[in-house]
Structure 1
Amino acid sequence: MPPHHCNGDAKGQLGQLRHIPLAYDTANSESSARALILTLRPEWSSADSKIEFTSFKDGITNTLLKAVNRKDGLSKEDIDKEALLLRAYGHGTDILIDRHRETQNHELLMKYGLAPELLARFDNGMIYRYIQGTVTQPADLRTPSIYLAVARRLAQWHATIPCIYETPAQSNGVNGHANGHDATTTGYTVPGKPSPNVWTVMQKWILALPTKTDAQRARQATLQQELAKLVEELSQRPGLGDNGLVFAHCDLLSGNVIIEPQSSSNGVTEGVAPQKTVSFIDYEYATPSPAAFDLANHFAEWGGFDCDFTVLPTRAQRLEFIREYVDTYFNLLPGKSGSVDKETETQRLLAEVDTFRGVPGFYWGIWALIQATISHIDFDYAEYAEIRLGEYWGWREATKDSDDSTKKELSVRETRWAQPE
């Protein structure tokens, strides 16, 4: 049975990617990275080659290295054209991430010109071409020219990239492997929604939580109850895409947004600044999801890993972003641009993003609880989990009935979210 699709068209099988039977070793970073690069690019072993590695520190899941061959006489542009990115998976993250699906995602995005060329997989990672440009910082995401570019690119993802779902047999754990779990944990479904989707991903993560102590088991039970409430309240809401699901990035933090170099020959009007464009990288969490979740999740990243709630987008900023997104989205759907009331769609999506604003905290809170037990990266995942889950509980508190006598004062995050300008 072929996969179901959301938007776009995914006819044809994705290619077979080269596998290098070597692994990256953090204890011997340069030597193991060099062995991988030279296997892929044996010509870089020539006497005039000068291989250099640069480590990127923006992520808290994987190791990311840029490899260049700085031969004499080459310009920076020439060097970057041949540069490679080596991404080694974080320790134990197969519990969280379906690496087979990540490769599928990358190859699918390549077909639509929305991802750099994927060159090879190795035992614990992948190698792909370097995207020229500038990695954003959280403050950049709050700059209008950049957040409007993000809105346009995200709309392009949602409008044109098809969702690929498991067959019924795979969804029930037969010949399937979902996020590293065995057949007993792959059968979770949401009524009327093909699998996988953001809800089934959260279910798999909850099942992967540590349960060695009474406190851990109690927390898992609480989170399971909350997921059931979220599924009941939000999973059947109408939305963009078939089944209310789009091909979503689900991890659109600043480190995954690249500002592309400006072209000097793009025909813009003299005296008018050229429109910025961005690309997205790292597709390991991409899965079918309500568009409102992907947008709400991105907005949460305006505060960075520090979770600075005072700089999250105001209602006016969200409205500006969503207007740009809606205009791009419907312009990309065949025959839809002139037949849709875009302002009505904008207001509808604005309200839907408000409804979903607490879900990213729940999603990443569960993720961080697992990372706290498996990761070797120097980051306080346990504290991060409490902050992100706190976002979720703050949203629950804010959405209580106004006459509920137990209702507390709004959290800093909820106060900022309600700010009009």
Structure 2
Amino acid sequence: MEGTCTGKKNGRLHLNIRIKEDEDPHNSIMKLLRILRPQWRIEDIKKKVFTEGTTNQLTGCYTGCLRSSDDVVLVRVYGNMTDLYLDRRKEIEILHILHEHSCGPKLYCSFENGICYEFLQGIALDNKLLREPLVYRLIAEEMAKIHTIKPRDGSRPQAFLWTKMAHFLQLVQDSENDEMPSFLRLPETTSVEALRNEMHELKRRLGPVYSPTVLCHNDLSPANIIYNDTKGTVKFIDYEYGDFNYQAFDIANLFNEYAGLTDTDYSRYPSVELQMDWLTAYLRRYESCSGTDTIVSEHDVKNLYITVCKFNLASHFFWGLWAVIQARHSDISFDFMRYANARFERYYEMKEEYFGM
């Protein structure tokens, strides 16, 4: 653990504290809390470690009862080597923008290898809740609201998908050069060059498919969706991959998450009926938040459905590459190679069907 001098980064509170992953983080966390919550008595502070994530270590700190407390500080320690492929300054910028629009938690501070931010009361979704019409329509409406948030400077943003995917592929190649064993069992993906050629084909075939560039979460798994049944709201958390990207990618990414993370099963992929209902709720809210009075037609919904199906492939390829990188660098106990294979298998299984739509 380093010193506790405070400072500002882009006008925001930054604490010169580092929490080492190979040591007990208790003392470091207490040091953070003495600055952020000086009114808390040390003996009253309780901690809960959350284990849903596959990238970071997350600890909730509070006094009293977690479920009823209106002041819980979440301490997120970045995962090993994640700065290789995540832009932490961008994440902080996105968090502030979202909080300004009542779409995200308040950021309390950053520290040398993490951030502290507000805990949103509610429950993280499971596969059952993800299929409840009341809940999934709320998700659609919240995503639509976020998708209409404009850049602060009024610029026309570029989608981050292809730049980020190319960066992932370079990291995969670097890992292979670092004596990484053969990482995929599919004949189509046995070399970095094969993956590179496939990525170029994917980009070429998606090029003519129009999808607006909007502010996206880009990683909307059930664990990143908090449902508050008392308020009847959902909020999204963990914007590590938050950036401007293709609208259809964000939606497709969510639909792919229905298959699950630890036991990926695409028989759980949402039915066409569920998707159509979801997309209808989304488009109605999107048009409303955009300030237009456009009536959403069945034709509009069907067109978006087809676009989402095509970008579904980009989601599989993106997270397949990500999982290979994680397998090389992450300290988290998770079978990233199994997950990489599941995503690439689904990509090749659905490729011609989706591009044929």
TM-score of the pair, normalised by structure 1: 0.75
| Residue number among 148, 156, 162 corresponding to 2:150 in the alignment | 162
CA contact (8 A) 1:139 1:302 kept: no
Alignment partners' CA distance in 2, 1:259 and 1:89? 25
Partner residue in 2 for 1:134: 123
Partner residue in 2 for 1:116: 105
CA contact (8 A) 1:30 1:53 kept: no
Partner residue in 1 for 2:35: 39
CA contact (8 A) 2:124 2:227 kept: yes
TM-score of the pair, normalised by structure 2: 0.88
Provide structure 2 residue ranges, at least 5 long, that are not aligned to the other structure: 1-8, 184-188
The alpha carbon displacement at 1:234 in A equals 1.0
Count of residues paired in the alignment: 338
Q: Per the alignment, in what secondary structure is the counterpart of residue 303 of structure 1?
A: coil
More strand by share: 2
The alpha carbon displacement at 1:301 in A equals 0.7
**Residue 206, structure 1, aligned to residue 206, structure 2:** no
The alpha carbon displacement at 1:119 in A equals 0.6
Alignment partners' CA distance in 1, 2:10 and 2:125? 31
CA contact (8 A) 1:326 1:342 kept: no
The alpha carbon displacement at 1:111 in A equals 1.2
Alignment partners' CA distance in 2, 1:397 and 1:249? 27
Partner residue in 1 for 2:332: 377
Provide structure 1 residue ranges, at least 5 long, that are not aligned to the other structure: 1-13, 168-192, 264-275, 402-417
Deviations 1:47-95 (A, max 9, x none): xx4111101111111111110023xxx8953xx2111111111100011
**Residue 317, structure 1, aligned to residue 274, structure 2:** yes
Q: Which protein is bigger by CA-based radius of gyration? A: 1
CA contact (8 A) 2:280 2:296 kept: no
Partner residue in 1 for 2:320: 365
CA contact (8 A) 1:63 1:89 kept: yes
Partner residue in 2 for 1:410: none
The alpha carbon displacement at 1:211 in A equals 2.8
The alpha carbon displacement at 1:293 in A equals 1.0
Identity in percent = 28
CA gap 1:164/1:396 in 2 versus in 1, 3 angstroms: farther
Deviations 1:81-115 (A, max 9, x none): 11111111110001121111001110111111111
Partner residue in 2 for 1:281: 237
Let me know the Cα RMSD of the aligned residues: 2.5
The alpha carbon displacement at 1:138 in A equals 2.5
The alpha carbon displacement at 1:344 in A equals 2.5
Alignment partners' CA distance in 2, 1:135 and 1:286? 19
CA gap 1:397/1:234 in 2 versus in 1, 3 angstroms: closer
Deviations 1:107-159 (A, max 9, x none): 11111111111010011100011111111123221222111111111111112
Partner residue in 1 for 2:4: none
Equivalent residues in 2 for 1:292-371, closer than 5 Å: 292-305=248-261, 306-334=263-291, 336-337=292-293, 339-371=294-326
Alignment partners' CA distance in 2, 1:253 and 1:319? 19
Alignment partners' CA distance in 1, 2:228 and 2:240? 21
